[in-house]
Chain A
Amino acid sequence: MTTTTTTSAGSAAAAADGPTGTGSLGTKVLGGLSLVAIALAVVYGLFISAPDAQLGETIRIIYMHVPTVLAAYVAFIITAVSSAMYLWKRNEFWDLLGSSSAEIGVLFFAVTIIDGALWGKVTWGVFWRWEPRLTTSAVLLIMYIGYLAVRAIPADARTRATRCSIVGLVAVVNIPIVHKAVDWWRGLHQGRTVLSTIDPEMDGTQLFAMYTSLVAGLLVFAWLLVHRFRTAYLAERAADLGLDTALAERRLEGSPATSDTSHTPTNTGAAS
């Protein structure tokens, strides 16, 4: 993940001299690669690769289900590591990284479940079955929606970051436990699970479609993460600015230069 800044030499005065968005050379490269991988995945996944011997055409749904779930798990692991690092280093970077990653993880996880349900509709005739993968996914999704709910609570940066870090860590250690419990519970009774669709004996074009999809998924995730992180950073700076402006206004009101001598001092309300 390269983050190059495009700053002009010196002048901080002109607002337009800095980056006008969250893009950079690095993200353009990432984005370009993602698009190539996506194009390959689409071509191979939807057209060139043959229908699977066992799954038939439904494997084409799996081509998206697997990358999204992988990206989601990567996202939650990043959140967990960031949470631990934040609690250790108390550096804003880790908080912004962790929360950005969690948000993208929830998105990808939700998509995973939707894809899984659509696959299920074709394969089993129903949108939902209490099979291990879907059941675990449902639990994990709600857990991380809880993370986002905590994130949304207005608070000062340190409090919010601490709360989210705690949730991030508490949630991640539960992932293997949920897997184990659900697998023991549901795994023995069900026939074909979604996971059993990944067969290393796959046909060549299918394997290629799957790999390009995986690569595409991870590249898109990385691209999204950089943009989301930068946006979160900007949001923090904007919030600081808002606070600075409010404080400056207050000081201006209290100074003897103002003509309004009947002005009663007011408390700055909680700015966050």
Chain B
Amino acid sequence: MIRDAMLVAAKDLRLERRSKIGLAQVMPFAVLVLLLFAFALDPDRNILRQATPGLFWVTVLFSAVLTLQRSFGVEAEDGILDALRLSGMAPAGIYLGKVAALVVQLLALEVVLAIGVAVLYDTRFIGIPLLIGVSITATLGIAAAGAVYGALAARLRSRDTLLPLLLLPLLAPVLISATRGFEVSLERETVSGWPWAALLGIFALVYLTLGSVLFRPLLEDA
């Protein structure tokens, strides 16, 4: 199963490296969202600074939806999902492979966004361990849950509107926790941020497990 996962992950990442959609479209989109927030919230007042953690993670969520639609859309169109299903690879392995590839892409995006907010919103990054802990667990959760719904929506014509509707409410606790975690680590709050990271970790674990179990019926019947 692990070997299958690595195969799938490698395939996805290779695909991304060749097409460069993430680089050429999703990342510019993410930076664009940062700009839009700046236009909407007026950089001269303190709002942008205070809202940075939230804006960061909202942008990540929107970009994740795009990345997912891309990741699964291509496969659905070319019948790759069916090929994967018939390939004899363990569905859980396929799932974990997709999750792994998504995590890599999303983390790369977050690094770029971090640079973006550092430059555009004048954010100073402190509390690095917590930042990293929160980012990794949140990204794992987003990828784990996203891969399930992404695959489900993949073969549907209404996928572009259905996927956000399904995924974003599901990720509400991730948004809440990740934002609070960032607020703590940027010293906007004085409480401990690690409980938030723990909750994110639980979310990720729950959905990684559930996704692994559900991927077989999902591939076969959905």
Contacts and interface: CB of A to CB of B under 8 A. Distances in A.
A162 B218 contact: yes
Interface residues of A, number: 29
B152 A87 contact: no
Contact of B210 (A169, A181, A184): A169
Interface residues of B, number: 30
Interface in B169-222: 169-170, 172-173, 176-177, 180, 195-196, 199, 202-203, 206-207, 210, 214, 217-218, 220-222
Contact of B170 (A143, A162, A182): A143
Contacts of A178: 172-173
Given A150-B166, A153-B156, A184-B195, A170 B214 contact: yes
Contact residues of A: prevailing secondary structure? helix
B162 A185 contact: no
A182 B176 contact: yes
Interface in B152-168: 152, 156, 158, 162, 165-166
Interface string A139-150: 110110110011
Contact of B176 (A150, A169, A170, A185): A185
A133 to B, nearest CB: 15
Nearest to A188: B191
A166 B206 contact: no
Interface in B109-160: 145, 148-149, 152, 156, 158
A100 interface: no
Contact of B169 (A87, A143, A158): A143
A248 interface: no
A37 B156 CA distance: 45
Nearest to B215: A166
A166 B148 contact: yes
B145 A177 contact: no
B216 to A, nearest CB: 9
Contacts of A33: none
A167 B220 CA distance: 15
Given A159-B221, A181-B173, A146 B165 contact: yes
Of residues B149, B173, B214, which shows the largest number of chain A Cβ atoms within 10 Å of its Cβ?
B173
B173 A177 contact: yes
B177 A181 contact: yes
B210 A180 contact: no
Contacts of B156: 153
B148 A162 contact: no
B217 to A, nearest CB: 5
Interface string A200-217: 000000000000000000
Contact of A149 (B148, B162, B207, B218): B162
Contacts of B203: 177
Listed residue (B149, B176, B180, B195) with the most chain A CB atoms within 10 angstroms of its CB: B176
Nearest to A141: B169
A146 B173 contact: no
B148 A177 contact: no
A150 B162 contact: yes
Contacts of A167: 152, 166
B114 to A, nearest CB: 23
B173 A170 contact: no
Interface of B: 145, 148-149, 152, 156, 158, 162, 165-166, 169-170, 172-173, 176-177, 180, 195-196, 199, 202-203, 206-207, 210, 214, 217-218, 220-222
18 contacts: A142-B169, A143-B166, A146-B165, A149-B162, A158-B221, A162-B221, A163-B152, A163-B221, A165-B217, A166-B148, A166-B218, A169-B210, A170-B149, A170-B207, A174-B170, A177-B173, A181-B177, A185-B176
Interface pairs A-B: 5 shortest CB-CB: A181-B173, A162-B221, A142-B169, A146-B166, A143-B169
